[in-house]
Structure 1
Amino acid sequence: MPLNRARSGGNFALRPNGVFWVQGTRAGILETDAYAAARLRPEFATQSGPLLVQRGQIHPAFGRDSTSRKYRSGVGVCQGDR
């Protein structure tokens, strides 16, 4: 499927959203536009949004005063791209 770059239309379009990818023994998470620019050819990739945590910072839409009360799940990547 092509990347979804919609900027409106609900939860998925909250920016930044991103792509989790796996290539061999490496894995990563990149913001959608950075993923497109990287031109990776992973064995597996899935796009989701919004990124809940990026560079150690919680997405601003989900702070203590957020009106969103939906349960969220996430995937992470350890140091060394594992």
Structure 2
Amino acid sequence: MLDSGTFTQRIKALVPILIPLFISAFRRADELAMAMECRCYHGGEGRTRLKQLKFTSEDFRCMVVIIVALVVIACTRFFVPGLA
């Protein structure tokens, strides 16, 4: 049922899978929060990073390449017939 059917049918088929997944994830997060609280964990107080992250020209180039690739993919998807 997840491979065929309309969009709404596929979404409805996912609900029985996603609900228990989210419930277990929230339960686990609650258990982890309780364990951290019991051990008096206070987050990043007084902690520093070993190496501060900086946005460099290489990061900018990668971002531009990704944006161009996404635009090309979107354009071919919408404007080239037969590719779907």
Task: Give the TM-score, by structure 1 length.
Answer: 0.18
Q: Which has the larger radius of gyration?
A: 2
Higher relative contact order (CA 8 A, sep 6+): 1
The structure with the largest helix share of the pair is: 2
